[in-house]
A and B are shown apart, each in its own frame.
Chain A
Amino acid sequence: MKEEGLGQLMHGRAGDELLQKAGKTVSQCDRCGACLPVCPLFGEKDHEFASARGKNAMVRALAEGGLEPTRDLLARVDFCLLCRACVEACPNQIATDQAMIDLRQYLKYRMGYKNVKQEALAAVLDSRTAVKLAAGLLAFCRRRGLNGLFSHSLLPEEFTRAHFLAAHAGPAALGQKTPIAGLKVTGATKVAYFQGCGMRLLFPAAAARTCAILAATAPLVQRANACCGLPHLAHGKRREFLALARNNIRLYEGSDIIVSDCASCSSMLKHLGAWLEDDPAWKDRAALFSGKVMDLTEYLAGIGYRPPMKADVTLTYHAPCHLVRGQGISAEPRALLQAAGNFVELPEADRCCGGAGSFHLDYPEISSQILERKRKNIERTGAAIVVTGCPGCLIQLTRAAKKSGHKFKALHISQII
């Protein structure tokens, strides 16, 4: 009892610090409105609170005592894709996404923030064993055609490289390294694969293909990694996030390069250094770890990888938020796709697909509306395949493909190159 009280006190203090930090993050928002036309949520639900300006004002008022933490406020803090479109459009680059993450944590401390779906999901992702069990269960369901058991396409029908090759290609071979490499990889370089939960649970075939590509470029190390922690961090479970982070850092200490085929994982892992900056015991290890992380396309472009063949098929590309804005990676996947097929640019390629981690589970209606716009843009390109580099996006795009009456297919980039 006494211990609990102390815990709450500690949380209270940490919470207040987070609130002040969030307040500081948004303090330079001068409410100009530049974020209004770019926010995908504001595009669908044009209430002021949905916009970054509305959120920044709310954070500031909360930090300065003009608003009270209420359930209504909680819902509005949750109502954010963390897609960073606003940050990019903001003349002052206000990190509203960061403020939302901090505020969610604050509210968790302050009022015992609970979201049943997120709690359940986080509980699974906390444990590697649970992730493996879940992956097995999902694979079983997929084999038996039981996708429909899961609401809202949590388990998408996976369109794999085998399907792709059957439809569009001759004999498959793995791509070769070419000498124009900017990144030095030798036989001694220890390249490791970081398998995210999304890839493990939902797109195992794509993950296997990633491994095959990587193994052809360097001796591949596979580790029994844990979740990258982004779902925890995004939903006020900072303690769990930090535990996962330390675990992963420890696990990959022997590796030189850590490659992930999930944009959200690689983005999260690249930022671990910043999250552990205040921890003297972990600061340097975390920074070293983050410095080794690369997105799959970044790595392949770096070593001068060429896709094994150019298929006569029209491809387009949806840019995951965590790749284009989270890591500034934009040219690499496009260059790879140009070499793998007839590439056409997707209008509003950078606009969030509405997946956003578990956002699509919490707000299915808005998420679907955002996806509709994506679907129309994809159909406009006439592409047979929309490619992306994030399992979260791939869930959405697979739904869009189905909605379009299979006018196009959705594939992870590793299946194409």
Chain B
Amino acid sequence: MTITRETKQKFQDIVGTENVLDSALDRFAYSYDASFVSLLPANKPEMVIRPLTTQEVSRTMAIACERGIPVTPRGAASGRTGGSIPLRGGISLCLDRLRQIVELDERNMIVTAEAGVRTSDLYSYCAAQDLFYPPDPASWKFCTIGGNVAENAGGMRAVKYGVTANYVMGLEVVLADGTVLMTGGKAIKNVTGYDLKSLFIGSEGTLGIITKAMLKLISLPKKRGTLLLMFRSIDDGCRAINQVLQAGIVPAAAEIMDKVCLEAAARHKRMDIFRAGEACIIIEIDGDNDNMLAAQAEGIAAVAKGCGSREFRLAGSLQEAEELWEIRRGLSSAVASLAPNRVSEDISVPRTSFSEMVRLIRTIGDNHQLTIAVYGHAGDGNLHPSILCDLSNPAEAERVDRAVEEIFAAALSLGGTLSGEHGIGITKRPYLSQALGITAVNTMKAVKQALDPKGILNPGKIW
């Protein structure tokens, strides 16, 4: 498929000449994302188009649809599964210029933002009015709302506050043919017809281009505290988290890291706080006052002691708390730097199966002579095993493939699933029907067929 000069001119008329990029270097620069899909050979788009408004997106889509040009939407390209990689060329449709926060309705506690608004910017904007947008993917400083909705991004606060989907009240979506769909709204109860907005949440750009999101807010917790706990083993740590939750204490976040991760973090941050054990848990607690925080901290300390914790620390200052969270947020990249390649997964299991899953991962690693770092959201059962490897060695690459297959099979056997928060994109495609069954896949394909009969929206993804 080649975009003709005449078609290019049409796109330039819509978005302005400077917002259509097609030099060799620009095409390369929009060929990758934060996944481990190889940089080369590059999956270059034929053209990069950067609209400013929903109307420009709509007009661009109308032409792309008429000419059958593939379109891959892109926010900050910070996805981990290749969702924004233009696998079939065509157009890389960048939504990063749609960056208006359209409205903050304080009385209904709802914010409306364009797709290209950065998640942390939205958070700060709302927090200034004591309103709280909780989803906090590790990439929140640079990822964008459109991508968060399209991938149904999670984050560390999911254990208490849920994921992006739990906050979407309504969406503005440009459909494959350029028509603009508005779905949902400010009414909390709404069963008028199909819940179409849910169809687009986690659709990875395959059903429509999300241009605006209307998001629910809650009131901002007045106090926050951060705890650091060390345990002898992952088992002890997981047991402690489950008991904490059963005791009715719901931490805002509960993140666990294994020994390999602790070494990576220690090396990166030049810290030696992790000597006391093989598992570290960082917990965030929040509430309306210091007493509430103290009660939670005491409750957690008591449970942790019962589970044999080796160390219990309460961050003394905001700065100390921020440093602890920076360790966790930077972990993905810190782990990646331990080996030439890192194949990272995003499986999700019932919370009580977390430590069993870690055990199975260890066995799989041992069987294939691979080091696998494990960290994740122990509070919600979503874990990120990272296989440290050198994919330039064909024999090792082969072993990595086997290990990934076995990790997925193990997750499914425990009643879990392929992806908790990263999506399927390119990298998990081969395992989809195993996870969902053929009926579910066919139903999804029927939906796709109905909304995108020409198959121009993000082709090559999910299945």
Verify B268–A91 contact, CB threshold 8 A: yes
- Residue-wise, chain A 218-241 has the 8 Å CB interface mask toward B (1 for contact) of 000000000000000000000000
Say yes or no for A92: interface residue by CB 8 A criterion: yes
Which chain A residue lies CB-closest to B74? A48
Which chain B residue lies CB-closest to A30? B336
- Residue-wise, chain A 115-129 has the 8 Å CB interface mask toward B (1 for contact) of 000000000000000
Say yes or no for B350: interface residue by CB 8 A criterion: no
Expressed in whole angstroms, the minimum distance between the Cβ of B100 and any Cβ of chain A is 15
Verify A58–B29 contact, CB threshold 8 A: yes
Expressed in whole angstroms, the minimum distance between the Cβ of A281 and any Cβ of chain B is 33
Verify A30–B141 contact, CB threshold 8 A: no
Verify A66–B41 contact, CB threshold 8 A: yes
Which chain B residue lies CB-closest to A32? B34
CB-CB under 8 A from A154, the residues of chain B are none
Within 8 A of A (CB), among B333-377: 333-334, 336-337, 340, 342
Within 8 A of A (CB), among B401-431: none
Verify B337–A49 contact, CB threshold 8 A: no
CB-CB under 8 A from B139, the residues of chain A are 32-34
Verify B39–A66 contact, CB threshold 8 A: yes
Say yes or no for A54: interface residue by CB 8 A criterion: yes
Say yes or no for B24: interface residue by CB 8 A criterion: yes
CB-CB under 8 A from A32, the residues of chain B are 34, 78, 139, 142, 332-333
State in angstroms the CA–CA spacing of A93 and B34 once bound together: 16
- Residue-wise, chain B 16-48 has the 8 Å CB interface mask toward A (1 for contact) of 000001011110111011101001111000000
State in angstroms the CA–CA spacing of A325 and B139 once bound together: 23
Verify B25–A66 contact, CB threshold 8 A: no
Verify A27–B340 contact, CB threshold 8 A: yes
Which chain B residue lies CB-closest to A73? B25
CB-CB under 8 A from B77, the residues of chain A are 31, 33, 48
Expressed in whole angstroms, the minimum distance between the Cβ of A327 and any Cβ of chain B is 18
Expressed in whole angstroms, the minimum distance between the Cβ of A144 and any Cβ of chain B is 42
Verify B32–A91 contact, CB threshold 8 A: no
Say yes or no for B330: interface residue by CB 8 A criterion: yes
Say yes or no for B378: interface residue by CB 8 A criterion: no
Instruction: Report which of B28, B96, B143 forms a contact with A58, defined as CB distance below 8 A.
Output: B28
Expressed in whole angstroms, the minimum distance between the Cβ of A163 and any Cβ of chain B is 39
Q: How large is the interface on A (under 10, 10 to 19, 20 to 34, 35 or more residues)?
A: 20 to 34
State in angstroms the CA–CA spacing of A57 and B31 once bound together: 10
Verify B42–A49 contact, CB threshold 8 A: no
Expressed in whole angstroms, the minimum distance between the Cβ of A416 and any Cβ of chain B is 29
Expressed in whole angstroms, the minimum distance between the Cβ of B8 and any Cβ of chain A is 18
Instruction: Report which of B29, B337, B342 forms a contact with A54, defined as CB distance below 8 A.
Output: B29
CB-CB under 8 A from A28, the residues of chain B are 336-337
- Residue-wise, chain B 308-325 has the 8 Å CB interface mask toward A (1 for contact) of 000000000000000000
Verify B118–A92 contact, CB threshold 8 A: no
Verify A36–B29 contact, CB threshold 8 A: no
Say yes or no for B76: interface residue by CB 8 A criterion: yes
CB-CB under 8 A from B340, the residues of chain A are 27
Say yes or no for A47: interface residue by CB 8 A criterion: yes
Which chain B residue lies CB-closest to A93? B268
- Residue-wise, chain A 57-77 has the 8 Å CB interface mask toward B (1 for contact) of 110110011110010110010
State in angstroms the CA–CA spacing of A287 and B337 once bound together: 29
Verify A92–B29 contact, CB threshold 8 A: no
Instruction: Report which of B26, B32, B329, B334 forms a contact with A47, defined as CB distance below 8 A.
Output: B26
Verify B34–A31 contact, CB threshold 8 A: yes
State in angstroms the CA–CA spacing of A90 and B336 once bound together: 12
Say yes or no for A253: interface residue by CB 8 A criterion: no
Verify A76–B142 contact, CB threshold 8 A: no
Say yes or no for A37: interface residue by CB 8 A criterion: yes
Verify A91–B334 contact, CB threshold 8 A: yes
Verify B25–A37 contact, CB threshold 8 A: no
Verify B330–A91 contact, CB threshold 8 A: yes
Say yes or no for A46: interface residue by CB 8 A criterion: yes
CB-CB under 8 A from A46, the residues of chain B are 96-97
Expressed in whole angstroms, the minimum distance between the Cβ of A153 and any Cβ of chain B is 27
Expressed in whole angstroms, the minimum distance between the Cβ of A79 and any Cβ of chain B is 11
Total residues of chain B contacting the partner, CB 8 A: 37
CB-CB under 8 A from A36, the residues of chain B are 76, 142
State in angstroms the CA–CA spacing of A54 and B31 once bound together: 10
Expressed in whole angstroms, the minimum distance between the Cβ of A87 and any Cβ of chain B is 13
Which chain A residue lies CB-closest to B269? A91
Instruction: Report which of B23, B76, B342 forms a contact with A72, defined as CB distance below 8 A.
Output: B23
Verify B29–A47 contact, CB threshold 8 A: yes
State in angstroms the CA–CA spacing of A73 and B330 once bound together: 30
- Residue-wise, chain B 53-90 has the 8 Å CB interface mask toward A (1 for contact) of 00000000000000000000000111000000000000
Verify B32–A33 contact, CB threshold 8 A: no
State in angstroms the CA–CA spacing of A32 and B336 once bound together: 11
CB-CB under 8 A from A91, the residues of chain B are 268, 329-334
Q: Which of A61, A64, A76, A92 has the most CB of B within 10 A?
A: A61
CB-CB under 8 A from A54, the residues of chain B are 29
Verify B268–A30 contact, CB threshold 8 A: no
State in angstroms the CA–CA spacing of A32 and B33 once bound together: 8
Within 8 A of B (CB), among A231-262: none
Instruction: Report which of B25, B32, B329 forms a contact with A31, defined as CB distance below 8 A.
Output: B32
Given contacts A37-B118, A57-B32, A58-B28, contact A30 B332 (CB under 8 A): yes
Which chain B residue lies CB-closest to A46? B96
CB-CB under 8 A from A30, the residues of chain B are 34, 36, 332-333, 336, 342
- Residue-wise, chain B 225-254 has the 8 Å CB interface mask toward A (1 for contact) of 000000000000000000000000000000
State in angstroms the CA–CA spacing of A92 and B267 once bound together: 10
Which chain B residue lies CB-closest to A90? B333
Expressed in whole angstroms, the minimum distance between the Cβ of A213 and any Cβ of chain B is 34
Verify A61–B268 contact, CB threshold 8 A: no
State in angstroms the CA–CA spacing of A37 and B139 once bound together: 11
CB-CB under 8 A from A34, the residues of chain B are 139, 141-142, 333
State in angstroms the CA–CA spacing of A66 and B118 once bound together: 31
CB-CB under 8 A from A58, the residues of chain B are 25, 28-29
Verify B29–A57 contact, CB threshold 8 A: yes
Q: Which of A30, A31, A48, A70 has the most CB of B within 10 A?
A: A48
Expressed in whole angstroms, the minimum distance between the Cβ of B124 and any Cβ of chain A is 12
State in angstroms the CA–CA spacing of A33 and B142 once bound together: 6
Instruction: Report which of A37, A61, A67, A92 forms a contact with B141, defined as CB distance below 8 A.
Output: A37
Given contacts A61-B40, A64-B40, contact A48 B334 (CB under 8 A): no
CB-CB under 8 A from A70, the residues of chain B are 24-25
Instruction: Report which of A33, A37, A61 forms a contact with B34, defined as CB distance below 8 A.
Output: A33
Verify B33–A31 contact, CB threshold 8 A: yes
Q: Which of A32, A47, A92 has the most CB of B within 10 A?
A: A32
Which chain B residue lies CB-closest to A54? B29
State in angstroms the CA–CA spacing of A34 and B334 once bound together: 13
Verify A60–B334 contact, CB threshold 8 A: no
State in angstroms the CA–CA spacing of A123 and B377 once bound together: 58
State in angstroms the CA–CA spacing of A61 and B42 once bound together: 9
CB-CB under 8 A from B33, the residues of chain A are 31
Within 8 A of A (CB), among B145-199: none
CB-CB under 8 A from A27, the residues of chain B are 340
CB-CB under 8 A from B34, the residues of chain A are 30-33
Which chain A residue lies CB-closest to B92? A48
Q: Chain B residues in contact with chain A, CB under 8 A?
A: 21, 23-26, 28-30, 32-34, 36, 39-42, 76-78, 96-97, 118, 139, 141-143, 268, 329-334, 336-337, 340, 342
13 additional contacts (CB under 8 A) given A30-B336, A58-B28: A33-B77, A33-B142, A47-B21, A48-B30, A54-B29, A57-B28, A57-B32, A60-B39, A70-B24, A91-B333, A91-B334, A92-B268, A93-B268
8 shortest A-B CB distances, which residue pairs?
A: A91-B333, A91-B330, A48-B29, A33-B78, A66-B40, A33-B142, A30-B336, A28-B337
A-B contacts, 9 of them at CB < 8 A, read A31-B33, A32-B78, A37-B141, A46-B97, A57-B32, A66-B39, A70-B24, A90-B333, A91-B331
